[in-house]
Amino acid sequence: MTAASPDALASVARRQSEIHAPSSPVVHFDAGAPLRLACQQNLAPFSIAYETYGTLNAAKSNAILICHALTADQYVASRHPITGKPGWWDNMVGPGKPIDTDRFYIICSNVLGGCMGSTGPASIDPRTGVPYGLNFPLITLGDMVEAQARLIDHLGIDQLFAVIGGSMGGMQVLEWTSRFKDRVFAAVPIATAAWHSSQNIAFHEVGRQAVMADPAWESGNYYASGKVPRNGLAVARMAAHITYLSEEALHRKFGRTLQDRSEKTFSFSADFQVESYLRHQGSTFVDRFDANSYLYITRALDYFDLRDNAGGVLANAFRGTKTRFCVVSFTSDWLYPTRESRRVVQALNAVAANVSFVEIESDKGHDAFLLDEPTFHATVRGFLNAAALKRGLDTTERPA
C-alpha cells in the first residue's frame, strides 16, 4: 500500500478539505477569546465544528449534547462526508428514536484535537501558516469540554437538558457534570470510566508507537510531504479495534474461518477472516482520520482522571450535583468494564445523587453501545422520557 496511489491521494484531499472547511457548521472563536488549556497554554483562535438535529424550543430547554468517542465525529445521525456511511449513532438518534429529534434539539460537536473541522494538530497554526503538527498543545478531555461549553454559550443555551455519550464521550459527560453542575439537567455516561486504567494507557501506547515508528510520520510533519503514516495508523487502529470487541463476538463472527481460500497458504498473507477484517478496519480508518489527531486524542484519554480536580476523591467531583444520572455498562465490555461504571455509581451514591445504573447483557464487547441493543435503547428512551417529564418539557409537538 503506497501513499502515492490515486485513491490515497484523493482520500488525503477529502480529509484535508474536512479539516479546513468542514461540511458541517463551524463556529470560530477569535484571538480575543482564547481557550485556557490544562497545560497552561492559551489556544486562539480555535474552531468547533458541529451538527444539530431537531428544533431548539423557545425556552431553550430541550437541548441534548452528544459527546463522541475517540475516532467518531459530529456526524452522529447524518451521512459522513468522507465515507458516505450513515451517522455513527443512526440507530439511537433520529425521529422517533430513543434520542428523539422530533422532541429534542441535538448538538454534536467534533472534539478539540479532532480532524473533522474542529481545531486540532492538522489545523493551520496561525503563527506559522502551516499545520500545527506536534506544535499543537497537549489537550485534555477537560479542555474538550470547555471548548464544547463555548459552543453551547454561542448557541445561547444556559442549561443542557442532557449530555450523553459512550466511551470517551461518556468521560466527557462526566467532565460536564463535574465542571458545569448547573448546566446539565440529565447525564447518560455509557460504557465508560472515571479514569484511564493502566491497561487502557498500555493499549494506547502501542497504537502511538505504531504511528511514530512509521517513517512517513516524520515526527508529525507529514502534512507537507502529502504522505501519511498509513501503515502505522492502520496498525494502531487494528490493535485498538480488538479492544472494542469481545472474544465471544470475534469468535462468533470469524472463528478460524479462512478468507477466500480453502487451505492455509503457509505465508503471512491474510489467511484468516479475522486478519482480513482487521486489515480492512485499519485501512478504511486511515482514509478518514488524521494520525496526529489520533496521538493527541489518545493522550487526552490517558491523562483523564476525574479525581485530579477533586482532591483525589471521585465523589468530590460530583459533590453538590443536582443532575439526574443514568450510568450504563455492558457485560462483555473489557475496555471499560462494569466495575468502572460501578465506581462512578458508588461515588454518585456517596453524594446522594439521583442515579440509575443499568448493566446491559451483551456479548458484543465495548462497541455494544453503538449497536442495536434493544434493552439499552429502551433504557435510554425511558430515562429521557422520565427526565423530560421532570424538566417539564412540553412534548406534544411530537408528530403522530
> Read out DSSP for 275-334?
HHHHHHHHHHHHHH--HHHHHHHHHHHHH-BTTTTTTT-HHHHHTT---EEEEEEETT--
CA dihedral 12, 16, 17, 18 (to 10 degrees): 100
> Which of these is catalytic: 78, 109, 167, 362?
167
The residue from 52, 259, 309, 385 that contacts other proteins (CB under 8 A) is 385
Nearest-10 crossing angle of helices 273-288, 230-244: 120
Alpha-carbon span 138 to 334, nearest angstrom: 27
| Contact flag: residue 360 with other proteins (CB under 8 A) | yes
Alpha-carbon span 248 to 246, nearest angstrom: 5
Return the number of the residue (91 or 283) whose C-beta is nearest other proteins: 91
Alpha-carbon span 70 to 116, nearest angstrom: 12
The residue from 164, 191, 194, 355 that contacts other proteins (CB under 8 A) is 355
Annotate each residue in 322-341 with x if it binds other proteins (CB under 8 A) or - if it does not, as one string: --x-xx--------------
Could you tell me how many residues make up the chain? 400
| Contact flag: residue 393 with other proteins (CB under 8 A) | yes
The residue from 241, 250, 356, 363 that contacts other proteins (CB under 8 A) is 356
Return the number of the residue (272 or 357) whose C-beta is nearest other proteins: 357
Provide, rounded to whole angstroms, the least separation between the CB of residue 63 and other proteins: 18
Annotate each residue in 226-245 with x if it binds other proteins (CB under 8 A) or - if it does not, as one string: --------------------
| Contact flag: residue 352 with other proteins (CB under 8 A) | yes
| Contact flag: residue 182 with other proteins (CB under 8 A) | no
7 is an active site residue: no
| Contact flag: residue 398 with other proteins (CB under 8 A) | yes
| Contact flag: residue 382 with other proteins (CB under 8 A) | yes
**17-46 positions binding other proteins, by CB under 8 A:** none
Provide, rounded to whole angstroms, the least separation between the CB of residue 240 and other proteins: 28
Q: What's the distance, CA 9 to chain centroid?
A: 26
| Contact flag: residue 386 with other proteins (CB under 8 A) | yes
The residue from 141, 152, 358, 370 that contacts other proteins (CB under 8 A) is 358
Q: Please tell me the count of residues contacting other proteins according to CB under 8 A.
A: 34
β-strands 26-29, 46-53 pairing: antiparallel
Return the number of the residue (51 or 340) whose C-beta is nearest other proteins: 340
Residue 273, all three cell numbers:
477472516
Which of left, alpha, beta for 399 (phi over 0: left; psi -120 to 50: alpha)? beta
- Give the burial string for 198-209 (b: 16+ CB within 10 Å, else e): eebbebbeebbe
The residue from 57, 359, 363, 371 that contacts other proteins (CB under 8 A) is 359
Return the number of the residue (213 or 389) whose C-beta is nearest other proteins: 389
| Contact flag: residue 364 with other proteins (CB under 8 A) | no
| Contact flag: residue 250 with other proteins (CB under 8 A) | no
| Contact flag: residue 375 with other proteins (CB under 8 A) | yes
> Which of these is catalytic: 333, 341, 362, 367?
333
Alpha-carbon span 27 to 306, nearest angstrom: 28
333 is an active site residue: yes
Provide, rounded to whole angstroms, the least separation between the CB of residue 195 and other proteins: 18
Q: Does residue 17 sit in helix, strand or coil?
A: helix
Identify the CA nearest to 315 among candidates 352, 364, 359, 268: 352
Residue 180, all three cell numbers:
458545569
| Contact flag: residue 383 with other proteins (CB under 8 A) | yes
DSSP 8-state assignment for residue 107: E
Residue 316, all three cell numbers:
468530590
Write out the catalytic residue numbers.
167, 333, 366
Contacts with other proteins, residue ranges (CB under 8 A)? 324, 326-327, 342, 345-347, 349-352, 354-361, 375, 378-379, 381-383, 385-386, 388-389, 393-396, 398
